[in-house]
Amino acid sequence: MNKNFIEQSAKNQFCSSTDPQESHVFANLLYDQGFKHVFGRESNKEILINFLNLIIPDRKIVDLEYLNNEQTPALKEAKNSRYDLTCKTDDGSRIIVELQKRSQWDFIERTLYYVALPIIEQLEIGEHRYNFYPIYSVNILNFELSGVSKNEDVLSIYRLKELYRNTELTDKITMIYIELPKFRKNLSELDSDNLLENFYFCFRNIYKFKECPEELTNEIIKRLFTAAKVAAMDKNEKIKYLNEMTSERDLRNQIEYAIDKAIEQGLQQGLEQGIEQGIEQGIQQGIEQGIEQGIEQGMQQGIQRGIEQGKIDTARLLKANGISIEMIITCTGLTLEQIEQL
């Protein structure tokens, strides 16, 4: 695995895929300001209703009312929360819509905390019953949920269920997660009749176009393109949008710089550790090879000495039995001097 592969993998993981550009005809829907400009306006309510009806199960929304995004908890010590969008449907259900560009610590827990606040809000003081309208947490993510959804489905819906029999405990709380990076179709691969796929595509790509592509024929999607025009923003909205683009660019640079430095430091530390381990392994291997060679040489020397000693013992025995010196030299290969010393 080379440095370039490691670096690019890290940047894909931590950096948003929505590269800031100097000018957009259509707002980037993965920017908070772009998202709220399209989905958070009363005039675009029908676009939001159509989108929610595609992802919320067992319920058809006819109308909805935008609510205050600021949530003040019952306890003073608790954290205030601000949603991207929160609304109430015609049947009283509450819907929280959150856009999240990057993962963070305890993200799932944060979405659960956001659901708890409207539950408490619905329970009137002095009321003895714990009855509240259903709550839907819709989370649009520009990253994949690590360790949670292990399939390739863009849309995941969770409810409280019995672990072994899969029976539903209640339909009052529904957690919906849309992992946009799992949607990889390009314009030519889109099914024009699949409205949800068209929404996914627009979330990821609308800011790249100068006009609505002719392949996108659904009227709701055409209205989405019209609503997303940056030129339709008022002065304050444009300033906020441009500021967010600048912040996004700065953040990407900071993250990429941190990744580059971390990779550089990691490679240096890895090199130093590798050299140190290599030296240790080399020494150990040298010792082992030295032992093996020593044993082999010792055996060879032992055998040679054994042969020499055998010749001397044989010559001594022949000499003691009166065999001539010439015959002993012929039989043992010893020299005259060696035999005379016996």
Share of the chain above pLDDT 70, in %: 87
How large is the average pLDDT for residues 184-208? 95
Share of the chain above pLDDT 90, in %: 44
Q: What is the pTM for the complete model shown? A: 0.69
Sheet holding 64-66, edge to edge: 64-66, 85-89, 94-100, 135-141, 173-179, 155-158
Q: Check if the beta carbon of residue 109 is closer than 8 Å to that of residue 89.
A: no
Q: CA-to-CA distance for 232 and 225, rounded, in angstroms?
A: 11
* Listed residue (144, 151, 203, 209) closest to 177, CA to CA: 144
pLDDT bracket for residue 18 (50, 70, 90): low
pLDDT tens-digit series, residues 278-318: 788 888 888 888 788 877 777 777 777 777 777 777 778 77
Burial of residue 219 (number of CB atoms within 10 Å: 0-12, 13-18, 19+): exposed
- CA neighbours closer than 13 Å in the CB half-sphere of residue 127: 10
Show contacts of 255-258: CB within 8 Å, 24+ apart: 255/11, 255/14, 255/15, 256/11, 256/15
* Listed residue (73, 66, 62) closest to 94, CA to CA: 66
| Region of 278 on the Ramachandran plot (φ > 0 left; ψ -120 to 50 alpha; else beta) | alpha
Q: CA-to-CA distance for 30 and 203, rounded, in angstroms?
A: 7
How large is the average pLDDT for residues 74-100? 77
Look at residue 237 and tell me whether its pLDDT is greater than 80: yes
How large is the average pLDDT for residues 93-117? 91
- CA neighbours closer than 13 Å in the CB half-sphere of residue 264: 6
For position 5, what pLDDT does the model report?
Answer: 45
pLDDT tens-digit series, residues 147-192: 776 788 999 999 999 999 999 999 999 999 999 999 999 999 999 8
For position 259, what pLDDT does the model report?
Answer: 72
Q: What is the 3-state secondary structure (H, E, C) of the chain?
A: CCHHHHHHHHHHHHCCCCCCCCCCCECCCCCHHHHHHHHCCHHHHHHHHHHHHHHCCCCCCCCEEECCCEECCCCCCCCCEECCEEEEECCCCEEEEEEECCCCCCHHHHHHHHHHHHHHHHCCCCCCCCCCCCEEEEEEECCCCCCCCCCCCCEEEECCECCCCCCECCCCEEEEEEEHHHCCCCHHHCCCCCHHHHHHHHHHHHHHCCCCCCCCCCHHHHHHHHHCEHHHCCHHHHHHHHHHHHHHHHHHHHHHHHHHHHHHHHHHHHHHHHHHHHHHHHHHHHHHHHHHHHHHHHHHHHHHHHHHHHHHHHHHHHHHCCCCHHHHHHHHCCCHHHHHCC
